[in-house]
Amino acid sequence: MTLPTTLSAPLAHTPVLDHGFLELWNMLGADQTIAASARVSLSRELASLTDHTDKQAERDRGLINRLMRDRHTSPFESVVFQWRVRAPIFVARQWFRHRFSSFNEESGRYVELQDEFYVPDQLRVRVGKAMDYQYVDMEAEQNAQFRARIEALYHDARTLYEGMLAAGVAREHARIVLPVAQYTTFIWTVNALSLMNFLHLRNSPHAQAEIRAYAEVMEAVFAERLPWTHAAFREHWGAGAV
């Protein structure tokens, strides 16, 4: 069995929403790394890293399942992912609430932001009371009217932004006219434990649809790269509520 190590190049570029994307840039560790991290307390860590027999794999998978079940979580911090994300600012601001990780974002102070804004195909209407509601699609004609007005607003904001830049206004001031639908790019470095917390909350039926679109892609990559850990995660942790 060959253990995954740090990636030499980004994995496949996955489009998300209308102008967004998600890429896994780097990854350190594998399921066996988590098992070894747990076994170090008994000075048995090398078994998980050097014994590639089916019997050892069965032991390690069982250990990971028990760690997840009993919430012995620190070994999961030994695997690290690094993602490159392009998302609307309002999605990024939800993402940045996950503070047990590291973010580096493109700066509107130093670069001219691209002319890319998120326009939803279908606007949602909230039905019900606070904490007990659901969403339904807006009626087609009204949806089309609002989408046209949104696009016009974006056009006006972009025109003003570019006009201010052309007049010599500093980028850090000119950007204030851009809406939160403006796309931004950031690098997210996160260990497997914090990633599972993100997926628990953001790949949940209760999460906002736009951030869940990213979480769905991310969880598919997580399941591919850490299959034993992902299976235990879904069995004992699963989706949450936000």
| 192 and 76 Cβ atoms separated by less than 8 Å | yes
Helix, strand or coil for residue 82?
Answer: strand
Judge whether 44 counts as a catalytic residue: no
Helical H segments across 14-170, by residue range = 31-39, 45-50, 54-70, 89-95, 140-166
Cβ contacts of residue 150 below 8 Å, gap of 6+?
119, 181
Token digits for 156?
């006006």
Q: Crossing angle for the helix pair 54-70 and 31-39, nearest 10 degrees?
A: 70
C-alpha–C-alpha distance, residues 57 and 132, integer Å = 45
Q: One-letter amino acid identity for 90?
A: F
Quote the longest CA-to-CA distance of the chain. 70
C-alpha–C-alpha distance, residues 65 and 104, integer Å = 33
| 16 and 22 Cβ atoms separated by less than 8 Å | yes
Question: Which entry of 61, 175, 202, 225 is annotated as an active-site residue?
Answer: 202
Token digits for 25?
């840039």
Half-sphere exposure of 5 (CA within 13 A, CB side): 4
* Residues marked as catalytic: 202
